[in-house]
Structure 1
Amino acid sequence: MFYDHADQQAEAMHPNPDWTTTPITPELIRGALDLETTQHGVLPHRLPARARAQCTDPQLAMVESQPSGVRLLFRTRATTVELDTLPTKRTYQGAPPRPDGVYDLLVDGRLTGQATVTGGNTVTIDMTTGTAEHQPGPPGTLSFTDLPDGIKDIEIWLPHNETTELIALRTDAPVAPMTDRGRKVWLHHGSSISHGSDAASPTNTWPALAAALGGVELINLGLAGSALLDPFTARAIRDTPADLISLKLGINLVNLDLMRLRAFTPAVHGFLDTIREGHPTTPLLVVSPILCPIHEDTPGPGAFDFSALAVGALRFRATGDPAERATGKLTLGVIREELSRIVRQRSADDPHLHYLDGRDLYGERDFAELPLPDELHPDAATHRRIGERFAELAFTTGGPFTGHNA
């Protein structure tokens, strides 16, 4: 039912005259805040154009265009669905090759197929120099066949870690945009862990798993290396319709060594103030970092472990001095304590503001069983555990989102 065959891509680019080619419009897409028209088709963005114009950081540009949580959603009788895309894949000089991004097909909410697209553009990043080389490549086609007959809801979740331009959608029966499914919208912002890091596929990132368990529509603003309390991100959240909001803050501020405690506290207040301008009573959950031993008591900056890279492994290490906490350098322990204090202070006037210690999602006992393979990011099994824990703590009885997800 699912495959990726390069020898069929050229034929697929020339649609069967009896098939329907449907323009890819915003009505067919969930989880993106903007669609950019390109020379090939459309490129989903997870930050709006105004936000992108305010920051030239190449890391942010790369990750916000990686469509974590973005999916095509439509209703159809089609038994075959084809999608032409132009992926942009990234590799790291000297590191093991990264697998092609995975597309997940859901039929009436159930994972039914998976596919990849070969080819596409390639960006090779040299971690020793910080430079990147861009190599253009051809588009490709993924095809899902032998789908169940009859009217059904189709979701195609795009690769969470691979920039994806959408070129053409073809089916052997007409498609119609999905109307409102009656679900609440949960907007989540966080770091690479929320983005998906080493999750198995786009529906297996922890936010996607938690959204499925909570019965909500996901907007995932997990931005790898870029959860930095940027004002333009706060404004994007402020201006996006959402019924539930969560913010997982801290790890990027430590591993980039971006600010000291003096700047961190007012930056958090400002971030929350901006969100509250557009969502004054929306349930808002602040989540502190999960356990990460290298940064619990040691400040950043974080760095690649080049001794591991020399033997083909990718690992991270903390390079700060624990004594520097006395001068205001941030560690995960410092951030958890301050986030907890800020939420306690503000919740006296904001009963819809809540706090969750990230170690309740992944703590010391979890680390002993499921260690972080690169010392920083969870693996696929850990994503599932975090997603299940979040759903239990946030969406079930007594949680901050209880009663708001139906």
Structure 2
Amino acid sequence: MKHRGRHRRRRRGRALRAALAGTALALTAAATMISASQADVADNPGALKPLTRSTETAPLRLTEHPVPRASLDRLSEGMGRPVGVESVLADTDGALRAARACPAEDRRRLPVEPAATRAYCWDAADTGGLRPGAVTASGDAHDAGRRGTHRVILSGWSPGTTDGPARVAFVDADDPGDLRYAWALLAVPVDGGRDYRGLASDVSGMVRYQDKLLVTAGRGDGSALYVYDLDRVQRATVSRPEVGRVPGGWSAAGARFVLPAVASYRPAGADFPHPAGLSLDRGTTPAGLVAHDSVTGDDDRPTRLWRYAFSIDPARSGLLATDPSGLAEPLAVYETKLTDVHGVLAHGPAWYLGRTVGAPDQHGTLWRQDTDGSLPVRCGADGTHRCWSGQTASMSHVPETGEVWSQSGRMLFVLPLTSIDRALG
């Protein structure tokens, strides 16, 4: 009896060990399949997939909500006559440093391949407590690459650790050897234009088209996009840490200029994805506003890319095309298998997608995709994909010069679009 009990226990032990071994093998196989799948996507995400069903496109509709003209006029009456970009650039706050004078830790943010032809950095003392975001060039505003008599780069910055206001730097890029800038607070009129509040949002997407600036707004702000009129810049009248109307005048948290929103675009229905980035597509007629959502590698879904058309009505310059009810429909929607996308540029049928890989200070990848396939930028003897800047928030193309402007960390840089195409493997 004792021998039979011992044999049964041995058999049960062997069966348990076999079951555990089988489970371990199954888990290992599953992990291997997941890793292989992720590696396959990283090595070859394939072609863009068009989405055409109404159930796929309807959630991306936006409704336009103009700020009442009376509110904007009341704000101007209180703050003084609005000024334009020329006045802002005539009253700058500081200058960017050339790359050779930038700290090594900042320069490591630059792409390996293709290399930047020019690069600059912001002074850490002037951007302390702020987090860099999107960039848009005056090439977005006009084919000639100029706004008035100036080449202008707009650089968006968000509060680093608080819910404070976002701001934008107007950069005078006329002289490549001396880029100077002025700060403006992004604001939203309240109380019928008797006051304003700061835009508490990450500026992860920003596009300048004609006389308007479109900026992403966070979920907590209740909108998808805010619209600013670059001919309606207001001067702050006092320098205090507060935002809005204060005893003695109007304050912009230390900035000398204020940009009050003139409109917003809000989701027309449920399930609208917060736009993580914006860019201008001049490859369509009329020009289009391109957006993408934020999908991390842990999400079990693809990244969506979509496009709206800008209005061709001269009375609606810089605004999206809408129907009589104020509804803006997406004209084209795509899916890509790439995740962790930071920065998209649409140029003709090609879409250029920057992808974050690893930590923010590590290099990422840059892909060109269309509906036929995809190619990565490669570099080094082993042909690695990890050549692009790690945390690039946006890309802005200037048709006149063929250059692409972008920003990573405190580094602002520019390179030809043709150099990206040459680096594709």
More helix by share: 1
**Structure 1 length normalisation: TM-score?**
0.26
**Structure 2 length normalisation: TM-score?**
0.25
Relative contact order higher in (CA < 8 Å, ≥ 6 apart): 2
Higher CA-based Rg: 2
